[in-house]
Structure 1
Amino acid sequence: MKKKFLLVAILLLTNSVIFAQDLVQSGPMVGYSTMREVLLWVQTTKTAEVYFEYFEKENPNQRFKTEKYTTQMKYGFVAKLVANKVLPGKKYSYRLFVDGKEVQRDYPMEFQSQTLWQWRTDPPEVSFAIGSCTYVNEERFDRPGKPYGSDFDIFKSILKKGPDFMLWLGDNTYLREADWNSRTGFLHRYTHTRSLPELQPLLASTHHYAIWDDHDFGPNNADSSFALKNTASEIFKLFWGNPTYDVIDKGGITGYFQWADLDFFLLDNRYYRTSNNNFTGTREMLGKAQIDWLINALASSNAPFKFIAVGGQVLNSEAMYENYATFPKEQKYLLNKIREARIEGVIFLDGDRHHTALSRMQESNDVYPLYDLTCSSLTAGSNNNREKLNVYKLEETLVGQHNFGILTVSGPRKERVLNIKILDKNGNELWTKDIKAQDLKYK
């Protein structure tokens, strides 16, 4: 009789675990990290009560819980909860509970708080992944023919490199014709991409930050005239975990975050953008308000490397497709302001182009070189564009296959060095380059 009751209890426990698993649509995902709080994200399959339990890996007996939140269909069944009892420089394990039942995963669920190094030690080594252009196939909504997305195991390769966080550089999902004319369509597409099985382990233990480009904003080449741009902003903020959005109070997704001694400026190249075909007035990609905020923020930064993330290429000298050279007056305004303010340590990061390339621009010996690292594509179709007319490109850095970047900043506080590695879908190195912070200063 005891064996029978034990068997029933085991079956009930097993069923409850399976039921809890079935209530999770995608995630959990780790969002921003600070010294005192970390964002945790998850999406359920239907209305459910969600919370997280977390604990220091070195002290598992002391456990903390986030607030509880009931997911709603109106908001895509998404929950964004803050772990607000963390201490600086700690690594944590966490658990997800849905309707009171723990969700099991066969991969780690971990996060870290940022280190309090100021006035104490040199800044810690920082490693982060970059990439853009993630297309996940869905046959009934895709164009007929060969699937456009492939090599989804690239996300497992990124995870194996163990970055502290990943910075997504736009086109992080691809809205289709059936998606971009309704809020329902936006929710479906973001949900479908976020639910990719190969992506889940990376989401669970690597912190994530993001900007957008046209395909996760609206139709191809979408601009400020897009009627649902406020819906686009709403859904983007719902599915990503940046610490700030719309810092210029204009409605877009402009943001900022800091990791160790590095500053990241997240720009919006869509919400304020003039149509590619409109030449009747002032042409803008970023808009004066956003650029002026950026220059002021850069001027306030003491970071040895100031990473500016933009959806499209900034330094390509050839005006083609949607790069910044197609907005020459505004491009000149931005670059002139950076020089005029004598801002040091600038590195542009962008995607969009479905190939990878590093550009280097130095107007004279009196200024340091500006770098623009384009990193694309993760899973969307790739190409072998050679950027023939781009006078700034470094020929040896052109990559025409699925790839991602791992950027590592290391060394003493006054001698920081940035190492860039571009890797293929399997994590094999394609090229590497070191840039010293000292070489990005005015003489």
Structure 2
Amino acid sequence: MHRCTERLSVLLVAMATAWGCTAEPGPEVQAVEPPSVIAFASCLKTRYPAPTFDHLLAAQPDVLVMMGDNVYVDIPEVPTRAEQFRPYYDELEAQPYWPRVRDEVPLVLATYDDHDFGKNDAGVEWELKETGRAELIRFFPDSAALIPADRDGVYHATTLGPEGQRVQFIVLDTRWFRDQPERSEVPRSQRRGGPYLPMADTSRTLLGEAQWAWLEEQLRQPADVRVIVSSIQVVAREHGWECWGNFPHELERLYGLIGETRAEGVVFLSGDRHLAELSRDTDPATPYPMWDATSSGMNQPERAVNEPNRYRVGEVRRMSHFALLRIDWADQPALTFEWLDDRGAVFASQSIVLSELGFAGR
């Protein structure tokens, strides 16, 4: 299938799924094949070259997920204004790789993190969040087609592939409704990690009730693989920076909801941290092993990483990279995560048999 025709086919089926419709392929729209290559990345400095995109496009992904900090709007020492958003997206549009992304990748899904939301570590209180939402919707038309006009925030979902090979993409908004996390009183010079602590106040929310209700609906939909996209890390939680672990009651609720809905095949994709890392949670509260693949930093210098993560599998690296999720739909379906550097070389990988992501034996 020609990639442009494939893009139209994927988008039409995705829109139909999102809006609760069915789509019959016409003469120019062929049935969507199950996704087998999913690229995911975050934290893109648009003022610098990004050779990672050449290698990402060479992988011919069926879907690209931009997980946040897709541009860096916030400017230190200067209050962010609504008119400051557009030039950063214009800068991304002007990069030589972005027209190729639009032309060659069948489906591009996106959410924001704090910097493209407009302010470092911003949440529900941010006065320009409407602008952050509007600019993401304007720039990423595939996601825009899946977000109702009257929805607060940018969370959205779609499912691709035939029965038995369905891949559901659940793209969360961890900014719009998010209350302020608990801050440590320990001076920065005396801390090993970031400024945040796990909170005891269970009234504070990360997703907000409307998004929680929507997420439950999505988890009850039929799917074989469920890719849940969170702009912040879900599993890693000891570093003191932004993560689900700052809202332990919300993380418990997330795991509980997966268990309650009997939603199998869940994996998490996350960004934000400027590192490549894989985490796996097998604590008793998990419905089954929870894997969180972090890909963050498409064009950044390599630096050492020294922070705790008892859930880490393999090494953690801080360098220019992107990641792929490959799905092998053979007799024993399996998922393989790969992290690739700016030369296109794989520097980390992990395979998971899909049957392990379920309730058998529990």
What is aligned with 1:348? 268
Q: 1:284 to 1:181 in 2, by over 3 A?
A: same
| Correspondent of 1:183 among 82, 102, 106 | 82
The share of aligned pairs that are identical, in percent, is 26
What is aligned with 2:206? 285
Q: 1:221 to 1:32 in 2, by over 3 A?
A: farther
Matched, 1:325 2:235: no
Q: 1:86 to 1:362 in 2, by over 3 A?
A: same
Q: 1:180 to 1:292 in 2, by over 3 A?
A: farther
Distance 2:11 2:338 in 1: 31
Within a 5 Å distance, the mapping from 1:29-68 to structure 2 comes to 33-34=8-9, 37=12
Deviation sequence 1:109-152 (CA, Å, 0-9, x none): xxxxx23xxxxxxxx45112111000122xxxxxxxxxxx4x51
How many Å apart are 1:204 and its aligned residue? Answer: 2.0
Deviation sequence 1:392-431 (CA, Å, 0-9, x none): 111x24121111111111224x732111111111110112
Within a 5 Å distance, the mapping from 1:371-382 to structure 2 comes to 371-380=291-300
Q: 1:36 to 1:392 in 2, by over 3 A?
A: closer
Distance 2:120 2:332 in 1: 42
What is aligned with 2:345? 428
Deviation sequence 1:355-408 (CA, Å, 0-9, x none): 0111111124994211011111112456433431x22111x2412111111111
| Runs of at least 5 residues in structure 1 that lack an aligned partner in the other structure | 1-28, 40-83, 90-113, 116-123, 138-148
Q: 1:366 to 1:384 in 2, by over 3 A?
A: closer
| Runs of at least 5 residues in structure 2 that lack an aligned partner in the other structure | 15-25, 184-198
Distance 1:174 1:277 in 2: 25
Distance 2:147 2:203 in 1: 25
With the length of structure 2 as denominator, give the TM-score of the two structures. Answer: 0.81
Q: 1:85 to 1:192 in 2, by over 3 A?
A: farther
CA contact (8 A) 1:180 1:219 kept: no
Distance 1:324 1:366 in 2: 14
What is aligned with 1:88? 30
Matched, 1:299 2:274: no
Distance 1:185 1:85 in 2: 44
Larger strand proportion of the pair: 1
What is aligned with 1:173? 71
Distance 2:282 2:327 in 1: 22
Matched, 1:257 2:158: yes
Distance 2:40 2:340 in 1: 11
**Larger Rg, first or second structure (1 or 2):** 1
Q: 1:360 to 1:295 in 2, by over 3 A?
A: same
Q: 1:269 to 1:33 in 2, by over 3 A?
A: farther
Within a 5 Å distance, the mapping from 1:6-155 to structure 2 comes to 33-34=8-9, 37=12, 86-89=28-31, 114-115=32-33, 124=34, 126-137=36-47, 149=48, 151-155=49-53
Matched, 1:266 2:171: yes
The size of the alignment, in residue pairs, is 323
Q: 1:309 to 1:180 in 2, by over 3 A?
A: farther
What is aligned with 1:410? 328
Distance 1:36 1:168 in 2: 16
What is aligned with 1:391? 310
User: 3-state SS of the aligned residue for 2:255?
Assistant: helix
| Correspondent of 1:235 among 111, 130, 135 | 135
How many Å apart are 1:35 and its aligned residue? Answer: 5.3
How many Å apart are 1:349 and its aligned residue? Answer: 0.5
How many Å apart are 1:345 and its aligned residue? Answer: 1.0
CA contact (8 A) 2:277 2:293 kept: yes
User: 3-state SS of the aligned residue for 2:119?
Assistant: coil
